[in-house]
Amino acid sequence: MIRLMRLVDRHHRRLREATARRRHPVGFTRLPLRSPAGHDLPCRLYPAAASDAPGVLLVPGALDGLSALTGLSCVLTAPRLARSGFSAMVFTPSGREGVAGRADRCGPLHQDECAAALRLLLERTERVAVVSISFGLPMAMGALTRHPALATSVAVMMDWEGPGHRRWLRAPATDHTTDPRYWAPREAVGMVGALACPYHRVQSRWDHVHGRRVEIGMEMLEAASAGRCPSVWINDQQHRPGTTPRWISPRPSAQGRQMVAWLSDWLTAR
């Protein structure tokens, strides 16, 4: 039943977004983004209508690049954010979608590339949020904790159902290794306590990969609360350690709407 509901929801969402794109097409600007490894990375800015609009950096999940964040299948896309009043930036990390370089599986290289994209966005607006999609979590978290000066300029790091520990990952994302030196910079649950900006977890009662295993979100919330994170949020409430939060609907269209509303709260209402 859940699978059928998601398929129907996806179909209707695609119809709505296709109609919106025809009525309100969103253009983009290609920006120069260079990897620390020395090659260029695809990077786009989807500007909002207002010149002083806040910015959102979308960090791709799985093994994706910017194409996944500009089409119709992702829970939140750059064109949708632009139509909602945000200037949205997307990029493709090394080794993905035909881009040169090593596919670093959200490790230090990808984290430094994410940090470079964030600096580029901060040159254009002072009000910025970082939103990670699924396995984009360690890339975004590593960018902000390994570059703490950047995190202090960010209003919030929003995490959509990302895996904080290796046990939640499936091949090929795991890279078939158990070496703790490999995993140390890729397990966000061990980094979130050092985050210098608010952490906002978006989690439904039915995780998009692990179904009822909502502990995937709870362990991130508890780790954030035990660290130096300025504030920790789960969906529409501030997290209190040891309590069960209110889960949101598993429908991607409903999640996307709520994420836009929460981003508006973080970037315009606070």
Distances (CA, A) of 108 to 138, 142, 149, 176, 208: 9, 7, 17, 18, 26
Contact 189, 164 (CB under 8 A): yes
- Determine the angle formed by the axes of helices 252-264 and 2-23, rounding to 10 degrees: 60
Strands 55-59 and 128-133: parallel
Q: Alpha-carbon distance 57 to 51, whole Å?
A: 17
Per-residue model confidence as pLDDT tens digits over 69-86: 998 889 999 999 999 999
What tokens does 254 get? 């409903």
Least confident of 135-149, 159-173, 185-199, 215-229: 159-173
Looking at residue 22, its pLDDT comes to 47
Per-residue model confidence as pLDDT tens digits over 138-176: 999 999 999 999 999 999 999 999 998 888 776 555 566
pTM: 0.89
Q: Alpha-carbon distance 124 to 156, whole Å?
A: 17
Which domains does the chain show, CATH number per domain? 26-269 (3.40.50.1820)
What percent of the chain lies above the pLDDT cut of 70? 88
What tokens does 86 get? 């945000």
Average confidence (pLDDT) over 100-125: 96
Q: Alpha-carbon distance 104 to 230, whole Å?
A: 29
Looking at residue 62, its pLDDT comes to 81
Looking at residue 72, its pLDDT comes to 83
Average pLDDT, the chain: 90
Run of H or E residues at 255: helix 252-264
Higher pLDDT, 17 or 136: 136
Contact 195, 141 (CB under 8 A): yes
What percent of the chain lies above the pLDDT cut of 90? 72
Position 98 confidence tier, pLDDT thresholds 50, 70, 90: very high
Residue type at position 265: D
Looking at residue 179, its pLDDT comes to 85
∠ CA(70), CA(83), CA(117), 5° rounding? 50
Per-residue model confidence as pLDDT tens digits over 113-140: 999 999 999 999 999 999 999 999 999 9
Looking at residue 235, its pLDDT comes to 96
